[in-house]
Amino acid sequence: MSNAIGIIANPVSARDIRRVIANATALQITDRANIVLRVLSCVKACGVDHVYMMPENGGIRQHVRRGIDRAENQGLKHFPQLEYLDYKISGTVEDTFKGARKMLELGVAAIVVLGGDGTHRAVVTSCGDVPIAGISTGTNNAFPEHREPTITGLAVGLAVTGKVPADVAFLPNKKIVVRVNDQEEIALVDVAVVTERYIGARALWRTETFRELFVTFADPEVIGMSAIAGLLEPVTRLDGHGLHVRLAPEDEAAIMLDTPIAPGYMRGIGIRDFQPMQPGARYRPEISDGSIALDGERELSFSAKDDVTIELVPDAFRTVNVSACMQYAARHGLMRMTKT
Amino acid sequence: MNAAKKSTPGGGIFPLDKPDLLVAYRTMRRIREFEERLHGEFAKGDIPGFVHLYAGEEAAGTGIMMHLKDNDRIASTHRGHGHCIAKGVDTKGMMAEIYGKATGLCKGKGGSMHIADLSKGMMGANGILGAGAPLACGAALAAKFRGDGGVAISFVGDGASNQGTFLESLNLAAIWNLPAIFVVENNGYAESTSRDYAVAVDSYVDRAAGFGLPGVTVDGLDFFAVYEAAGEIIKRAREGGGPALLECKMVRMYGHFEGDQQTYRAPGELDDIRDNKDCIKMFSERVIEAGVVSRAELEAIDREMTAEIDAALAFAKSSPSPTLADLSTDVYVAY
């Protein structure tokens, strides 16, 4: 099997209204390109010689090209061969779907994803059984773990070259499947049911519209909708269940929870109750009209005439276990060099 | 329009109630009807000067202006008809101005690129690219001194966003914490030059961050996306939160100017815009599908707008031209 990997870097993550309402990060395009270069040099150091990359017109490509050209001018050989997938760029999430699908067809051993939760969700929608490794360049970033991309690149390189065995290198993950009639979408972290019927600016920040929340895992160290669940009842990524939280106006709430629903954006959330979300069970929203937000962004609207179900699916896709890879590398001396 | 429209977030299906949804539709239709009629009339050769049409971009101007009052100021661009209409400027006076008639808003001396109506807070379309941004800073400074919660909005295209005036204005607004909002209407082309070629910075959010102010990118074809984002940005500016940049990604349905052969477009691009990227069609489908507004109600507005623009055209064509004596009036030097 080829140890080629794919990289999908979203140039338009971290661009929404939360820059204004919550002082959220606005990671610059040049920073994203530098992350790609760091990942490239690390996977090359582990023995990966070929990398496929999603084409985009947001500027990352030009800066990456410049970085590689400069290294070549200096006679440095620390980047693998980089090949851009060839298809028409739409500037929308379709590019990500298409990129992940083509990387699956090309048989890549892993896909490194630069983006927020939405970008990771789009990749998982199309990448089949190819493991992904997430790097946070979005706003809330509940799904990708926060760490220096150098380490993510090293772990991916060690995993796909077989230096770290697969049973150590990769982890199974849960997802939530949302069905609206015949349409099916997924979420990696959270599904929120809100009363607004329009998609609009996509982000969620008006807490009074929140009604229900379903999460695959609940981590008190993340922000966004999943923070609500995390601060109520932590559930790990490896637990067999998720969490279902019913929200309520303050006068009807059993608990008021101070929650960072966006970066630095603390809001009181009324909680009616919460219980484990069982895999395989099909939940239906309690309101008849509204929108479904997937991983923090409104994506689907529904009305009383629609049949909407929400289901937790275990063992749905794989991620590179960066922490385990690096621990294994240290304990087995994988990074030790021969003296020259 | 141009009255402060109170949004009703929380529990509502849309951020606006039905009367305001109809206001939004009426405004967008008024702009489209106005521009499409000009497209036809310009070809007859009766209109002096150039016209640059806003058709296809209605959701952005309307979604922003729904949040403004008459005392809020806007500085527009060469493509200013849509901004004027969304800000509440009278279409008869506009049409007469474009025809260069004495009954025009500027007595026929400005034409398409210099329509202004200070009573509506419309400081003027502007034939000089990037020249609106410093005007908006001035208006924002005045609003700040008055302390009346007013804001000023500068519209700029992706091409003019490279002008020094625009960049200096971002800096000035940031250091003085002005209630100024910079809207980049990114339709992908500076006249005929692709934005991808001509704008060195890869993201307008990056550009804003370089001047120390927040930037936001929205789908400018989605009225609700623009309305929501603009609402938060304008509210923040009114409350003293300072300037911000809003990039609206959009398309224009016609050429840079009337007569532009648009040879720079890809094959099929205009058909795709008409078929799949019509912001008014997108708005209509959504509100009808939600069951909030009926198709018949929207069609009634269509007929109303056709009649209004008919009347505006008739008024413009039948109005007198300025006289020679008018040449020496409304100028700074006495003759």
Domain assignment of residue A336, yes or no: no
Distance from CA of B245 to the nearest CA of A (A): 9
Q: For tokens 């055209």, name the residue.
A: B313
Residues A147 and A181 in one domain: no
**Residue A165 and residue A204 in one domain:** no
* Whole-number pLDDT of residue B202: 74
Write down the pLDDT at residue B1: 43
Distance CA A200, CA B15 (A): 9
List the single residue in B with minimal CA-CA distance to A201: B225
Q: Chain B residue closest to A28 (CA)?
A: B206
One domain for residues A198 and A252: yes
- CB contacts of A201 in chain B (<8 Å) are 218, 224-225, 228-229, 232
- The model's pTM is 0.87
pLDDT digit string, tens, across residues A188-217: 999 999 988 777 767 777 778 889 999 999
Please tell me whether residues A168 and A195 are part of one structural domain: no
Which residues of chain B fall below pLDDT 50?
A: 1-11
* A323 shares a domain with A308: no
Asked if residues A18 and A139 have their Cβ atoms less than 8 Å apart, the reply is: yes
Residues A245, A99, single domain; the answer is no
Q: How many domains does chain A have?
A: 2
Residues A121 and A149 in one domain: yes
Domain annotation covers residue A337: no
Q: Does residue B291 sit at the A interface (CB-CB below 8 Å)?
A: yes
- Report the gap between the CA of A149 and the closest CA in chain B (Å): 21
Given this model, what pLDDT does residue B15 score? 87
* Residue A124 in domain: yes
- CATH number given to B18-328: 3.40.50.970
Q: Rounded to whole angstroms, how far apart are CA atoms A269 and A164?
A: 43
User: Between chains, do A198 and B224 touch, taking CB under 8 Å as contact?
Assistant: yes
Specify whether A88 is located in the same domain as A132: yes
Q: How far is A29 from chain B (nearest CA, A)?
A: 7
Taking one residue from A and the other from B, the number of pairs with CB-CB distance under 8 angstroms is 107
Distance CA B21, CA A144 (A): 39
The pLDDT, as a whole number, for residue A202 is 73
Residue ranges of chain A with pLDDT lower than 50?
Answer: none
In a domain, A338, yes or no: no
Q: Please indicate whether, in this complex, the C-beta atoms of A197 and B236 are within 8 angstroms of each other.
A: no
The pLDDT value recorded for residue A1 is: 54
Strands (E), chain A: 5-9, 50-53, 81-84, 111-115, 132-136, 170-180, 183-187, 190-194, 210-215, 242-247, 255-262, 265-277, 282-283, 290-294, 297-302, 308-320
pLDDT at B7: 34
Q: Is residue A69 part of a domain?
A: yes
Q: Do the domain assignments include residue A253? A: yes
**Residue type at position B212:** G
**Residue B12 has what pLDDT?**
57
Residues A151 and A210 in one domain: no
Tell me which residue range forms the domain holding A305.
174-315
Residue A44's pLDDT is: 97
CATH code assigned at A222 = 2.60.200
Examine the domain organization and report whether A116 and A240 are in the same domain. Answer: no
In terms of domains, do A265 and A154 share one?
A: no
Interface test with B, best of A13, A19, A199 (most B CBs within 10 A): A19
CB–CB of B215 and A303 under 8 A?
no
Share in percent of chain A as helix, strand, coil (round to 5): 30, 30, 40
How many Cα atoms sit within 13 Å of A68 on the Cβ side? 20
Residues A261, A323 share a domain: no
d(CA A134, nearest CA chain B) in Å:
22
What residue ranges do the domains of chain B occupy? Answer: 18-328
